[in-house]
Structure 1
Amino acid sequence: MNSVIFSFFSGSGFLDLGFEKAGFDVVFVNEINKSFINAYEYSRQLMGHSIPKYGYHTGSIDDYLEERDECSLAESVKAEQASGKLVGFVGGPPCPDFSVGGKNKGQAGENGKLSQSYIDCIKKFEPDWFVFENVKGLWRTKKHREFYESLKSELSNAGYVLDNRLINSLEFGVAQDRDRIILFGIKKTKINSEAKFEWEKYMKYPNGVAFNFDWPGTNKFGETPTFPADFPEDLTIQYWFNKNEVETHPNAKAHFTPRAGLAKFLVIEEGDTSKKSYKRLHRYRYSPTAAYGNNEVHLHPYKARRLSAAEALAIQSLPKEFQFPQEMTLSAMFKTIGNGVPYLFSYGIASTIKDYLEM
């Protein structure tokens, strides 16, 4: 693989891990949240990944635009390109300002502005290709879509050819109903005229196929539901709990405990995800979007408690070897999990890009 990655808004590295599994070399990592980047370093070391060539950087992406950072991003990018490598920028700017269930402030919000900063960074440092990841609200909400289209126009005018798709994580075999935009861009000068970007090549359940199965409804809490026939077991919560051995995972006991007792945890049926706040997952169904903030509480399918970090990581399809440091706060754990791109989703996109670049 003759391509390297400069990673922005890296969180705890879920997106980057998928790209590394596909064969890319992550040489630069930027994340403003110190707790997240500490977890990134910790997990990488445990999993045997090397330290990025240009290191880990905590700070705002605006530091590079205004040249306030001691690292010369321009020099690093040019050095890799001079050595014959294709340089890719990969990032998903924080998205609550575009989320349907979030702040909805759009491009004027503090987080919304970071999408423009990322595009400005691409235009300034001119990677050979890039990935921009964000929530479906940027695609489906009229005022946000106008902003998204303006970003695409800027990139086109800067010499990039673009392709984008709204993708559900279920399409890549993740047990989670989670929509995300993926925008891929490549310099016109780097295009192979015979290459085609095949979005569905690595999708196991493309185009909504996963929603067509006869999924179970709800069961009274404490009852054992019947295992359904003729449906994809790999899209169920229980499959991933078993696969990741969540009961013995180092983060198995990392879960919030209720202040007001267990009463509410005992009456919500297994599989009842209809409420705005308390949602109990079903062991034989996929999870709703792994969002653990804004008073959204996801309950274990058959235990009277909230999900553990180990279980939430499994829902994000992370390898069982991935773990958080024990000193990391619960709030930080669940925030970075909810912000992260599912590992299998990332691996699928990365594999598609790899094939495209190698044609």
Structure 2
Amino acid sequence: MKNGLTVLELFCGGGIGTNGILAAGYDVVKALDFDKNAVKAYRHNFGDHVEQADINTVEIGSLPDTDVIFGGPPCQDYSIAGKGEGEEGERGKLVFRYIDIIAEKQPKAFIFENVKGLIGKKHRHTFNALLTKFNEIGYEVNWKLIMAWDYGVAQKRERVFVVGIRKDLGFTYAFPKPLEGDYRTIVLRDVIGDLPEPAQQSNGGHLSDNYGTEYEMANRKESFDKPGATVTAHHRCSYTHPGEEQRRFTVRECMRIQSVPDSYVIPDDISLSAQYRIVGNGIASRVAWYIGKALAEQLNAGTKSEM
């Protein structure tokens, strides 16, 4: 059911989070990303309103005016697993371009997502500066470190979400509480237990029994009866399938763990490594749905109260 609100997606990736935003009733009118494979996957699933573009060079005035801006700038520079270059890294600078776009477009609200490392000791000064900047450009912000498992996702994925509401609307966003039955209940068996064993070429490869301690640490076996570890963009650094076969998770299994509906399909002519990257870089679909749905309810309630 449509909620009457429009969205501009920045850094949309392959649209993993888009699944949740659309399910929450939004109309996505424009989406941008620099990665050609991600854009190809997005277009295949959602349509031609996506554009491959460099956010740093796009003309802000050419972007549509929408109710909401949704997306998270590439996060590797703030990641615990990444280089940790922060705002000085090229990708880190995109965060401030994101702010420039919000400042000029002045949507009713924005949803910003990033890695847990952004609020860690090393980068906390940058995060605090971001919050200050959001305030300076006219937004009341609220933020939360969200564990995907708390919201019906079979994954212990932690991400920082900042939601800003334009000050003239007169309220601050309230993060939603999980629905009954969603809070830390969903495990891997619930989401991948019904999938058949894959053909050899459809996953990251079966693993040899002869691998060293470092390899073991980076490739620990999961359990069907627990949530999965964070789905990463690099499938060869991930945990392994809990079944009898010693193998990686397939792309479809990773999508299930990211709460992506089976109707979402990545074209076969996109390389396997790029497919894993698309899924691992995405916002868990169900988390996007939760945050987007709550935002729509609050925006629409605020609009009605002004009438």
Q: TM-score, normalised by structure 2?
A: 0.89
1:63 aligns with 2:14: no
1:115 aligns with 2:109: no
Output the amino acid matched with 1:335: R
Match of 2:202 among 254, 267, 275: 254
Aligned position for 1:347: 289
1:173 aligns with 2:141: no
Let me know the Cα RMSD of the aligned residues.
Answer: 2.6
1:330 aligns with 2:278: no
Q: % of aligned pairs identical?
A: 28
Aligned position for 1:149: 128
Distance 1:114 1:32 in 2: 12
SS in 2 for 1:116: helix
Q: Considering only CA atoms, is the larger Rg found in Structure 1 or Structure 2?
A: 1
Question: After TM superposition, what 4+ stretches of structure 1 lie above 6 angstroms from structure 2?
Answer: none
Distance 2:140 2:174 in 1: 15
The answer on whether the counterparts of 1:171 and 1:203 sit within 8 Å (CA) in structure 2 is no
Aligned position for 1:306: 248
* Offset from partner CA, 1:297-334 (integer Å, 9 cap, x none): 32111122211111111110111121111111011011
Aligned position for 2:162: 183
Aligned position for 1:278: 219
Gapped regions of structure 1 (runs ≥ 5): 45-50, 81-86, 211-231, 269-273
Quote how far apart the aligned CAs of 1:130 are.
0.5
Change (3 A) 1:178 1:58: same
Distance 2:100 2:26 in 1: 24
SS in 2 for 1:27: strand
Alignment of 1:25-64 (within 5 A): 25-44=27-46, 51=47, 55-64=49-58
The answer on whether the counterparts of 2:259 and 2:285 sit within 8 Å (CA) in structure 1 is yes
The answer on whether the counterparts of 2:37 and 2:274 sit within 8 Å (CA) in structure 1 is yes
Quote how far apart the aligned CAs of 1:246 are.
3.2
Quote how far apart the aligned CAs of 1:136 are.
0.9
Match of 1:72 among 55, 62, 82: 62
The answer on whether the counterparts of 2:204 and 2:235 sit within 8 Å (CA) in structure 1 is no
Aligned position for 1:96: 76
The answer on whether the counterparts of 1:202 and 1:351 sit within 8 Å (CA) in structure 2 is no
Change (3 A) 1:294 1:315: closer
| Count of residue correspondences | 298
Distance 2:221 2:287 in 1: 24
The answer on whether the counterparts of 1:175 and 1:237 sit within 8 Å (CA) in structure 2 is yes
Aligned position for 1:237: 188
The answer on whether the counterparts of 2:14 and 2:278 sit within 8 Å (CA) in structure 1 is yes
Change (3 A) 1:311 1:252: farther
The answer on whether the counterparts of 2:38 and 2:278 sit within 8 Å (CA) in structure 1 is yes
Distance 1:312 1:294 in 2: 9
SS in 2 for 1:355: helix
Output the amino acid matched with 1:287: G
Distance 1:236 1:118 in 2: 35
* Offset from partner CA, 1:163-216 (integer Å, 9 cap, x none): 11111001111000011111011111123x5xx63323345578xx63xxxxxx
SS in 2 for 1:133: strand
Distance 2:254 2:286 in 1: 14
SS in 2 for 1:117: helix
Change (3 A) 1:253 1:354: farther
Distance 1:355 1:275 in 2: 46
Aligned position for 1:9: 11
Distance 1:238 1:109 in 2: 39
1:318 aligns with 2:260: yes
Quote how far apart the aligned CAs of 1:248 are.
8.4
Match of 2:174 among 188, 198, 209: 198
The answer on whether the counterparts of 2:176 and 2:291 sit within 8 Å (CA) in structure 1 is no
Distance 1:358 1:281 in 2: 42
SS in 1 for 2:220: strand
Aligned position for 1:19: 21
* Offset from partner CA, 1:193-244 (integer Å, 9 cap, x none): 5xx63323345578xx63xxxxxxxxxxxxxxxxxxxxx3xx21121014xx
Distance 1:92 1:174 in 2: 19
The answer on whether the counterparts of 2:235 and 2:273 sit within 8 Å (CA) in structure 1 is no
Change (3 A) 1:202 1:154: same
Aligned position for 1:263: 209
Match of 2:139 among 140, 151, 160: 160
Quote how far apart the aligned CAs of 1:285 are.
1.0
